[in-house]
Amino acid sequence: MTTFNILTLPGDGIGPEVLAEAVLTLKQIASVGAYCNTPLPEFHIEEALVGGAALETTGVPITGKTLDNARKSDAVLLGAVGGPAWDKLPHDKRPEQALLKLRSTLGLYANLRPVRISGPLLAASPLKREVVQGTDILVVRELTGGIYFGEPRGRQGDRAVNTEVYSVTEVERIAYRAFEVALTRQKKVTSVDKANVLESSILWREVVSQVHKEFPEVELSHMYVDNCAMQLVRNPRQFDVIVTNNLFGDILSDEASMLAGSIGMLPSASIGGVKNRAGKPAGLYEPIHGSAPDIAGQGRANPLGAILSVAMMLELSFGLSEAARRVERAVEAVLEKGTRTADLAQAGEKVTGTHEMGEKVRVELERL
Ligand code: IPM
Ligand code: MG
């Protein structure tokens, strides 16, 4: 039987709590693999420190050894990084650097953030039911360029500088991803930029329009980012695939997560051109939420974003779509039965803890 290597990086805050549930769920799906049509491979799981947790023991947010290990793995599963303890550190020492290093060293330029509204959670969104119902958006965020990585950057006396840079190649490859994935969905791409102000956005728009010529069956529209932020809450159903740069994608995906009721629900996949031993993209999978230091260690975090990241990993890095659908169905079943973590519960509703939520998902996995 094939064995695939998965590196887990729990990180900080609620990261270890939600990742523990994700890993238990992965082990469970591997053990019930017999129910799937495709025989499941064996997963060899190794864990390493990242973020503040790594800083405390090794002095750096991620060691070269861990980066190497990540590069050799067939997929990486990450919890969250960061926290108030490390907020005052200089830029290059911060826990977040671990994430940026992982993304850039592994060449993970495409970040996929699906925003799907689960029926039972319609009441959990602060927006009206009739606005969010039926929303199904995929944010395709460019992840290794733009202002996150542009040079020059740093302090210059009493000034601070960051630089937004995009090359034609960088925009082209993310545009291809967006159009290709749109072909498997509603065939609509909205490219989001700020081309009325930014030079890099003018290039972005030109290149996306150029790549679009190869995808005549996909409808392309361009939207300014400020308008998009407004349209997302006004009429989210108008969107299918949103493709945008690193910074806009970061902001818009947090905003879009509230359509789904809670940021705790959203998984993500970061992929690039590198293939793993399954012949699929060797990706990094993580919930989009942060380390939530205010609730860390209390067993109150929502593990569903992390568990759904496992589903994305099974599908994208291992081609195990059926297993992925089972995980998604199990999550849906648990929500249908009214199980709610604190972030999802309405006033008066019973609140379920992190581990219990994970256990309930695994009960459904056995049952479905
Ligand atoms: C995300 C996070 C990260 C980002 C931080 C933790 C560096 O907000 O993955 O969305 O800005 O990309
Ligand atoms: Mg973010």
Domain boundaries, the chain: 1-116+262-368, 126-260
Annotation: CATH topology of 1-116+262-368: Isopropylmalate Dehydrogenase (3.40.718)
Angle at 328 between CA 326 and CA 329, to 5 degrees: 65
- pLDDT category of residue 36 using cuts at 50, 70 and 90: low
User: What value does the mean pLDDT take over residues 132-142?
Assistant: 97
- pLDDT tens for 90-129 read 988 999 999 999 999 999 999 999 999 988 999 889 999 9
**Mutate-to-test residue for ligand 1 from 62, 89, 96, 255, highest number of ligand atoms within 8 A of CB:** 96
The pLDDT of residue 95 is: 96
Q: What is the Å distance from ligand 1's center to 303 Cα? A: 18
The whole-number pLDDT of residue 82 equals 97
Cα–Cα distance, 239 to 136 (Å, whole number) = 8
User: Of all protein residues, whose CA lies closest to atom 10 belonging to ligand 1?
Assistant: 250
Ligand 1 atom nearest to 246, measured from its CA: 12
> Does this chain's domain 1-116+262-368 share its CATH topology with 126-260?
yes
Helix (H) or strand (E) holding 366: helix 354-367
Q: What is the 86 CA–ligand 1 centroid distance (Å)? A: 15
Which residues belong to the active site? 148, 194, 226, 250, 254
All residues with CB under 5 Å from ion ligand 2: 250
Domain 126-260 annotated CATH 3.40.718.10: yes
Distance from Cα 67 to the centre of ligand 2, integer Å: 21
Q: How large is the average pLDDT for residues 18-24?
A: 98
Question: Which residues have C-beta within 8 Å of that of residue 57, sequence separation ≥ 6?
Answer: 49
Segment 340-367 mean pLDDT: 95
Q: Separation of 80 CA from ligand 1 center, angstroms?
A: 9
Give DSSP secondary structure letters for 106-122. TT--EEEEEEE--GGGG
pLDDT-based confidence at 196, cuts 50/70/90? Answer: very high
Of ligand 1's atoms, which has the minimum distance to the CA of residue 99?
7
Contacts of 281 (CB under 8 A, 6+ apart): 271, 272, 273, 274, 275, 316, 317
**At residue 146, what are phi and psi to the nearest 5 degrees?**
70, -160
d(CA 308, CA 331): 8
Q: Which atom of ligand 1 is nearest to the CA of 250?
A: 10
Q: Which residues line ligand 1 (CB under 6 A)?
A: 82, 96, 99, 250, 288
Q: Which atom of ligand 1 is nearest to the CA of 286?
A: 9
Percent of the chain predicted with pLDDT > 70: 98
Percent of the chain with pLDDT over 90: 92
The residue whose CB lies within 8 Å of the most ligand 1 atoms, and thus the one to mutate among 9, 76, 99, is: 99
111 has which bridge partners?
Answer: 141, 270
CA of 41 to the centre of ligand 1 (A): 31
Helix (H, G, I), strand (E, B) or coil at 348: coil
Question: How high is the pLDDT of residue 228?
Answer: 98
Q: Residue range 305-324: average pLDDT? A: 96
d(CA 327, CA 237): 25
pLDDT of residue 39: 74
